Every structure is written in structure tokens, then in C-alpha cells.
Structure 1
Amino acid sequence: MDFRVSPRGQIAGRCRVPGDKSISHRAVMLAALAEGESRFGGFLAGADTLATAAAFRAMGVSIDGPHEGQIAVQGVGLHGLRAPPGPLDMGNAGTGMRLLAGIMAGQRFGVTLIGDESLSRRPMRRVIAPLRQMGADIAAAQGDTPPLGLRPVVRLQGIDYVLPMASAQVKSCLLLAGLYAAGRTCVTEPAPTRDHTERMLAAFGRPVQRDGARVCIDGGGASLRATSFAIPGDISSAAFPLVAALIASPGAVLIENVGINPTRTGILDILRAMGGDIELLNQRDAGAEPVADIRVRASRLRGIAVPAAMVPLAIDEFPAIAVAAACAQGETLITGAQELRVKESDRIAAIAAGLAALGIAVEALRDGLRIQGGQFHGGVVDSHGDHRIAMAFSLAALRADAPVQIRDCVNVGTSFPGYVDLMRGLGLGIEVS
């Protein structure tokens, strides 16, 4: 599936983006391990989160939905999962596989986690090594990539682990494994990362202990208690109409009901530092998460050196930020973002190739990008099957002098089902072939 986007165009209106993917994954996982029925509104019915739901169904968990964003999960308790009839296929869901590895490491049965071609190339050493320190029996393909085979052990042992690289997925994997471990499991972060797992564990009745950069959970103890809440819109998905409004002429969008967890709002801070007119309205709490409506107006952007502290707080939004940087006056420098090398694609390479194909001066660095603002031209961009690359470069046409074609866009459905219709409704001239 390819996108073809007409040049120029105005962006205006209001919209709601799909539910937060990170929260949707964790909601199903913790609800499955809880006692009783949990219900969630705003659940993201994307390919990644549906793969997580299918995995728990295969292990005996009754899940009703999702139906129009509503999903109900009948928890089986921490020790109620059953051996699945075959491998658990996580599709393209890196978050799903890494977090599920932590849960499966503590089960009384063996399991194999597999994924699609893209996921089968993604590194899993970052979770395999600490899980083995906890006593997990885990095997992987050459290069520590999927499939992952986990065999039962007598019991895991809590560890005190210092993350070599900031990663919410690794932190979450170890905290979930810590539910099954003897003693205390602690994780120390080199920089703040998204804290959805910590917030949701507390919502399910198992609060963690935080001391600065160190977060701990005690094994044993109380069961998880079923709970219900509304999942807010995903700020990673909101990034696309947000950037579209900033760079369009004219542009004005209100994005309703977006999660503004402070560990996820790096994109807002970065774009404001570039001169973006972004306002948070109707701020409130929804369940364990802060929520707001985001008003965005077209702005004259300027290049900046992105502060290192903001990078982990916007790691999934850099494809969209890069398109904004290409529309800014002057140079934008992104460093400390080596994590982008091991996403659904090598996003540093994919962003650099896409910008260059559309006439933007760009340099790919080992851990980031140097982007010189300029004029987008028409052309063809290869998304490398990466949903965020595909969506980001569809926005470039708003400032291009000829149509932009993006190849291999089928995986957009993993995080943003309905993307084409939503953006077309705001004024983007996007067609699918």
C-alpha cells in the first residue's frame, strides 16, 4: 500500500486520535493478571495491541472486544495463565514482545514468542540479559533476535539493575517479571522514560516505590485488583495532525482528549522551543493519566539543538519532528537518539533518506540527525514498512512543490487505524493506492 499526497493544502478542524498504544498494551496485560473483570474505553484497535490481546486469549483469558474502543478483560490472576497451543505471534509489536517476555519468564509453562519479518530483526538482548540475571531460562535466535523461547524455572530472583540505555520497555519488562520474583526488583534509569507501567501497577493495586531514578517492586504480596478507566488519545499519534497544523498555510487544529503524561510530552517542548504555537486546554485527569485538548496554529519555526534531556521523552515522535525541522529556518541538531536505530526501521537512516529524496539537506549522525531547513520538492520516499516514517512523510507534501509518494505504508494500521480518513478530513490531500 502506497500513499500519494497532493502538494500544499490547508489544515483545519478538530479531531480525536486513537487510544494510546503503550497504555493499551499494558491495560490488557495487567487486566489479564488481575482478579476480576476490568473494562477500558478508548482502547486502540491497532494490529500491535490486537496481537497482545490474541496472545492472552491463547493463554485462556476471556476478552470481549474491542468494540468501538470498549474492551472487557476477565482476569485469571497472576498464576492463572495456561500454556498456549502454539507460539504466541506478536506481529510487529516490539512493546508487546518485550513486556510479555517479562511476564512469561515467571510462568509455570514454556512458551515461544514470534513476530513478523521486521520484529524478527529487532534486538532483544536488552531484555534477555537482565531476565537471565533474574534466573529466567530464555533462548533467542542468532544475534539475540526473535523468536524467543522461554522455559519454566522454579522461581525468579529479584535484582538491582542499572539500565545501560534509557528504555521504558526494558524497565517495564523487569517490573513485570518482578511480580513473579523472590525479593525486590529495582531498575535505575539513566534518563526519565515513560512511566505508564508504574502508574498502571498502582491503579491495579500494586504500587511501586520510586527514589529518584530508581524504581522498585516487591515480589509476592497482594494480587492485582481489576480496575476500569478510559485510555486517552496517543500523543505519538497526535504528533501528525499537530505537525501538519504547524507547517500548513494556514493551519489550525484542535486535537481532543490527548494523554499528556509528563514522560511523553517531549514533542510539545521541542516544537514550542522551535516557535510552535501550541496550547493545552481543558487539562484534567483520566484514570491514572493526565489529559488535555491540544490547540495548534501554523507557526514560523526555527531550528534548534534539541536538548539531550528531551530526547527520551520524544523518542517515537522524531519522524514527525524531523519533518517540522525541515520546514524551520536554520539548522536543527538531534543527538543522543541512537535508540532510533533499532525501531521498526533504522529511523535515523530512513528519515535521512526520505528528507534527501525530497530535496532537504540532511546529515545522518551515529546517534541523530543534522537537518537544514529548506524547500520540500516532490518525490518518492520509501517508508521501509515503518508506520511512523510513512505518516511523517505524508505531511511533507504540505510544504512541497509537487506530489509526494510514500511506499510500503500498510503498517500504519499498527498504531493509527483510520489515519488516512482523519487527515483527509483535516484537509490533507492524501490518497491510497
Structure 2
Amino acid sequence: MTDQTATPQSFSASVPLRGQIAIPGDKSISHRALMLSALAVGTSRVTGLLEGHDVLATAAAMRAMGASIERREDGEWHIDGVGVGGLLQPRQALDMGNSGTSTRLLMGLVASHPITATFIGDASLSGRPMGRVIDPLGQMGADISASPGGRLPLMIRGLAPAVPLAYRLPMASAQVKSAILLAGLNTPGITEVIEPVPTRDHSERMLRGFGADLTVETDGEGTRHIRIRGEAELRPQTIIVPGDPSSAAFFIVAALIVPGSDITIANVGLNATRAGLVGVLGQMGGNIELLNAREVGGEPVADVRVRHSTLTGIEVDPAVAPSMIDEFPILFIAAALAQGRTVTTGLDELRVKESDRLAVMAAGLRAIGARVEERADGLIIDGSGGDSLPGGATVAGHLDHRICMSFAVAGLVSEAPVTIDDIAPVATSFPNFEALLAELQQ
């Protein structure tokens, strides 16, 4: 994966959005489905897998370490695993492209195997610090040589047997938690992650589904103690990946702010550790209905109907941040169209995503005429009261797919077009974003 020539794209005021769409599979679940299938003994089958660049980077890495991964013509993926402890030495560097999830979780897998792997990525990923993962994996015995600031390129030499540990997360991070649990799969004894603030629990659900001995206990203070017994034997599974709520978020907000809109998004994953945005938009007055609620592969799923609404600014409880950390960029767009002020705090993690999402969103919002104040840990946005934004600017996406899609949605309610300097990064998570938008505009 190499950085490509920039592809600018403009988005203009939209007709009402109408109809029903199905969004791509959940990115978090897709990554984990490939990794755990590759560590099971036997053939796993996965349908609904997100086929964006990030997930394909995970597939390529697991192939490089010995797994057989094949996409059938009907869209079903077949993965023949190597077994826990069976990862092979990759012959060349593992190119993670733009995927921080792939990098951090795969570092966890490699840490407890007797192999050495070098991780490289694009310019955006190479600027993201990996220290939060390097520290606990180093305590388990992995030898990690990173570029200055704990960044890529980095080389990790795994240790087998690795050393089990009990690690208290210094800040909420599902990726750090998952990296430690994945390292614990091939580590003798019990590896424990202590999680003061709950984060998305896809790893725990899927590890148990594959047969890992994993327990979760919550103490009197609300802290979660997640323990996994190592040297596990994983059984192959048949997995149906639900639609990605982070991808659905862009269309949920678009329908709320484009007058006359009424859309339904089918088969959206609504895991409680991921569904914070729906609750926040509901508090702002968003008309969002969950239809046909059901469970698919151990994950709660529903069809989401969204109608244009008059939104009101609120003070967002920082406690919900872990359940919607990737959705704040699009929430900022909703806030820019709301009546009154929206205040967000406790969002330090947004500064170390694919871009510094607080700074980049603040700059972009100002460029298109929104009223925003940037604070150290959040944004304060005074909304337009439902009036169109001025628009008429080119926004720098900083190779960040969620920034690009957020400002694409902003363009739908702007007087003059909003241009994204490079739309190509959207393919990392949502290859058919523009096609689905066009479908709803017909």
C-alpha cells in the first residue's frame, strides 16, 4: 500500500435523502474475525466482511504469517488457521497502510510468538504513537524497536513463552486492551486487563466465541477485570459481520440535518460499547428509531430509521466518549447545525487518531463558516439553528477517512460546495460511501 495522488471531491447542497441502504461490515469485528480465524485450527467462514483497505491489510498480514485466506465469488471468506502458537516468520515487512487497529492488534499477536515482524505504514499511520501498546507488550517480554516517539516503522521480536501480567489501562483504549488479550492467547497462565472505563467489547465476545477461556468481572467501583487463560485452542467459527455503526453514523447525521430526509439503514451493529452516538443524537432531539432489534453472531443488531430533525445543542457527558470515540467528527457536524451550544470534553484521545481530530475538525469547521472554539480536550460549537453553513472552502482531510466523510456530509447542508482535498482515504473504511449517498439522493 502506497500513498496515492490526491483526489479532490466536492459535495453540494442535497435534495432530501430517501430510501433504504445496507452499509459495509463492522471494521472492528472484521479485523478480529480474520485474526482469530487465522489462529483457530480448521476452516472458519466469514460473511459481511468489510473489504476496505484497513481490513485487507490485516488479511495480508495474516497470510504473511501462514494463514490461508480466500474470498469466494459469493463474497464469503474462508480462513484456514495455523493454531495458537503457529504463526510463521513473515518474509517481509507487514504494510499496515492507514490501519492503527491492524498495527496494534497484530503487535499483540506477534508479541507472544517466537517470530520477528517489522510494521510499516503510510504517512498518517507513521505519525501515530504506539507507546501505549509498546509498554505492556514489553512487560510481557517482547523486544520492540520503534522509530522516535514510539512510531512506525517498528520491529517487534516476540517471546515464547511470554510473561503473563495484570495490566491496568492508564486510559480507555479498546485497541490496547485487545493487543494484551491477543498476546495472552499464547502466554502460559492468566493475563489480566484491568479496565476502569468500559470500551468496545468485540474482542471479549469473539474470543469466547472461538473457545478461549476468558472471564469478565466488574468490581464494586465499576472497574472491569478481563482475564484470559493462555495456550488456548481456538475452534473455527462461522461469523456474520453486522453493519458498521461508525459507517452508519455519517448517514444518520446526514438524514437528521438535510431537510425532508427519511432513511432506513439495515443491519446496523448496536453493541452498547459502540452505540453512544445514537443516544447523544437522541438527547439533541434526533428522530431515530431502532426497528427489528435482534442478535446476530452474539452482537445486537437493528435496522435504523432516521428522519430530519431540529437538533438542540447539549453538553456531552465525557463518560460516553469510549462508546463513540470515532463518531465525534460527525457529531461536530451535527452540532454545527443545531440550535444553541454543544460542549464536548474528555476527548484527549482524538488528538492521536489518524489525525489530530480536534484541531483538524476545528480548522475545517471554521473554514466552512461554523462557530467553534477549540479547547485542550474538546470543542465548543455554537450551531446555526438549522440554517445552511456558508461552505465554499477546501478542507484538508489529513489522510483521515472520518474527517473526509464528515465534511462531505457538511457539504450537503452548505450554501456553496465543500471540497475535500483528497477523498481517497475514505476507501480505508467505506469504499462505497459516495455510491450509497448518491443512491439516497435519487
TM-score (norm 1): 0.97
The farther-off stretch of 131-140 and 320-329 is 131-140
In 1, the alpha carbon distance for the partners of 2:44 and 2:373 equals 48
In 1, the alpha carbon distance for the partners of 2:305 and 2:298 equals 23
Partner of 1:30: 36
Partner of 1:431: none
SS of equivalent residue, structure 1 residue 146: strand
Q: Which amino acid in the other structure matches residue 214 of structure 1? A: H
SS of equivalent residue, structure 1 residue 182: coil
SS of equivalent residue, structure 1 residue 4: strand
Q: Deviations over 1:109-166 (max 9, x none)?
A: 2111111111111110000001111111111111111122112424211111111110
- Shift of the alpha carbon at 1:180? 1.7
> Does 1:349 pair with 2:355?
no
In 2, the alpha carbon distance for the partners of 1:394 and 1:147 equals 32
Change (3 A) 1:412 1:226: same
SS of equivalent residue, structure 1 residue 401: strand
> Does 1:217 pair with 2:222?
no
> Does 1:51 pair with 2:57?
yes
Are the aligned partners of 2:213 and 2:229 in contact in 1 as well (CA < 8 Å)? no
Q: Deviations over 1:265-302 (max 9, x none)?
A: 00101100100001111111111211110000100000
> Does 1:197 pair with 2:203?
yes
Partner of 2:246: 236
Are the aligned partners of 2:113 and 2:160 in contact in 1 as well (CA < 8 Å)? no
> Does 1:155 pair with 2:161?
yes
In 2, the alpha carbon distance for the partners of 1:412 and 1:120 equals 18
Match of 1:363 among 373, 383, 389: 373
> Does 1:133 pair with 2:139?
yes
In 2, the alpha carbon distance for the partners of 1:263 and 1:362 equals 28
In 2, the alpha carbon distance for the partners of 1:335 and 1:409 equals 29
Q: Deviations over 1:235-287 (max 9, x none)?
A: 00000111110001111110000101110000101100100001111111111
Q: Deviations over 1:38-95 (max 9, x none)?
A: 0011000000000100011112211111655421100110122211111111111100
Partner of 2:4: none
Change (3 A) 1:66 1:411: farther
The farther-off stretch of 67-76 and 353-362 is 67-76
Structure 1: unaligned runs, 5 residues or longer: 429-433
Match of 1:376 among 378, 389, 399: 389
Q: Which amino acid in the other structure matches residue 172 of structure 1? A: S
CA RMSD of aligned residues (A): 1.2
Q: Deviations over 1:163-183 (max 9, x none)?
A: 111000000000000112222
The farther-off stretch of 133-142 and 96-105 is 133-142
Partner of 2:3: none
Summarize the alignment of residues 21-420 of structure 1 with structure 2, pairs less than 5 Å apart: 21-65=27-71, 67=73, 69-212=75-218, 213-220=224-231, 222-374=232-384, 375-378=388-391, 379-420=393-434
In 2, the alpha carbon distance for the partners of 1:109 and 1:383 equals 37
Change (3 A) 1:407 1:112: same
Structure 2: unaligned runs, 5 residues or longer: 1-6, 219-223
In 1, the alpha carbon distance for the partners of 2:74 and 2:41 equals 25
In 2, the alpha carbon distance for the partners of 1:338 and 1:310 equals 13
Aligned residues with identical type, % of pairs = 53
Change (3 A) 1:67 1:123: farther
SS of equivalent residue, structure 1 residue 130: helix
Q: Which amino acid in the other structure matches residue 389 of structure 1? A: I
Q: Which amino acid in the other structure matches residue 211 of structure 2? A: G
